[in-house]
Amino acid sequence: MSKIKISELFYSVQGEGRYMGVPSVFLRTFGCNFTCDGFGMPRGEKSNERNQIADHIAEFKQYRDLPLVSTGCDSYASWDPRFKDLSPLLTTEAIIERIKELLPFRKWTREHLVITGGEPLLGWQRAFPDLLKHEFMQDLKEITFETNGTQRLTEDFKSYLTAWTDRADREITFSVSAKLPASGERWEDAIKPDIVCQYQQVGWTYLKFVVATEQDIYDALAATITFRDEGFTGEVYLMPVGGVESVYSLNNKNVALACMKHGLRYSDRLQVPLFKNEWGT
């Protein structure tokens, strides 16, 4: 039986991208290949917020106790090894039991499954089929993988997902939040059009760039050209930076205006105004 290290498993409303507003079970896996310490910081500088939190790790017994951050990755505890003990390694059966408890009718009706992270395609591709082929999961119809777009699908997993969508009522989406230089990650590590085009062979795939400044928007447009040159045909969203409301509300309107100007789609972060982006939302 497969096991997956789960950072969070919760039921909420999808706040971003194509399925904004859809009630969804979020399965957040542990581990990421990036740190994204540059978010919310002046170019070239790195956030120290999670390090300050990690200095007091003994005070935090569960995710909900952890402080929210206004700079760096807002889900830092889902990959920083110092927080790993907050993320249990769960069997498929244990995950299913938790999902049952979360769903309002104790079964899948029209809810969506969001597999997120961290970076969910980093280490768990072999485990997901075990979860998805479980009898309880047969009524599930829509899955979104929220990924940073740097992890190629293994041939086995690609075949599995392709077969999963043989049923006409099923759909897979890849929500690709490719990281721009504002994240602090290097362009050559983060912009991987060949990999995103591979996702496109399997499911409905879109790009979602997190932006704050004019420079970020310029970078998003440049990255879009790079993806298009490789054959990417999906939609492109801009989403305001901001894991906390004070930061988010500073630039959401500007981002919407930039989307109108450049013919791109706007993605909100509904979890910020609705739920203050608390853990488990």
Q: Measured between alpha carbons, how far is 37 from 257 in angstroms, rounded to an integer?
A: 27
Unique residue bearing structure tokens 């299913």: 96
Query: Which of 26, 30, 34, 83 lies at the binding interface for ligand SF4 (CB under 6 A)?
Result: 34
Candidates 21-29, 112-120, 217-225, 241-249 — which segment interacts with ligand SF4 by CB under 6 A?
112-120
Q: In the structure encoding, which two tokens stand for residue 253, read together?
A: 């309107």
Does position 29 interact with ligand SF4 (CB under 6 A)? The reply is no
Residue 116 CB, shortest distance to ligand SF4, in Å, is: 8
| 239 counts as binding ligand SF4 under rule CB under 6 A | no
- Under the binding rule (CB under 6 A), the answer on residue 148 touching ligand SF4 is yes
Which one among 14, 24, 75, 175 touches ligand SF4, defined by CB under 6 A? Answer: 75
Q: Which residue stretch of 53-61, 117-125, 162-170, 222-230 sits at the interface with ligand SF4 (rule: CB under 6 A)? A: 117-125
User: What span, in angstroms and rounded, lies between the C-alpha atoms of 52 and 46?
Assistant: 13
Measured from the CB atom, the residue of 117 and 203 that comes closer to ligand SF4 is: 117
Q: Given candidates 12, 24, 29, 35, which one binds ligand SF4 under the rule CB under 6 A?
A: 35
Select 32 or 121, whichever has its Cβ closest to ligand SF4: 32
Between 140 and 272, CB nearer to ligand SF4:
272
Residues 11, 25 contacting (CB under 8 angstroms)? yes
Contact by Cβ (8 Å): 237, 208:
yes
Q: What is the dihedral of CA 73, 76, 79, 80, to 10 degrees?
A: 120
The yes or no reply on residue 117 touching ligand SF4 (CB under 6 A) is: yes
Near ligand SF4 by CB under 6 A: residue from 16, 49, 119, 219 = 119
- Single-letter code of the amino acid located at 47: S
Specify the residue, 118 or 193, whose C-beta has the smaller distance to ligand SF4: 118
Q: CA 265 to CA 140: how far, in whole Å?
A: 27
Report if residue 175 touches ligand SF4, rule: CB under 6 A. Answer: no
Select the residue interacting with ligand SF4 from 17, 118, 129, 149 (CB under 6 A).
118
Question: What is the spatial order of strands in the sheet that 204-211 belongs to?
Answer: 89-91, 3-13, 23-29, 112-116, 142-147, 171-176, 204-211, 236-240, 265-266
Nearest to 36 by CA among 46, 49, 25: 46
Q: Which is nearer to ligand SF4, 83 or 160 (CB)?
A: 83
Backbone region of residue 276 per phi and psi (left: phi > 0; alpha: psi in -120 to 50; beta: other values): left
Residues contributing to the site for ligand SF4 (CB under 6 A):
32, 34-36, 73, 75, 79, 117-119, 148, 179
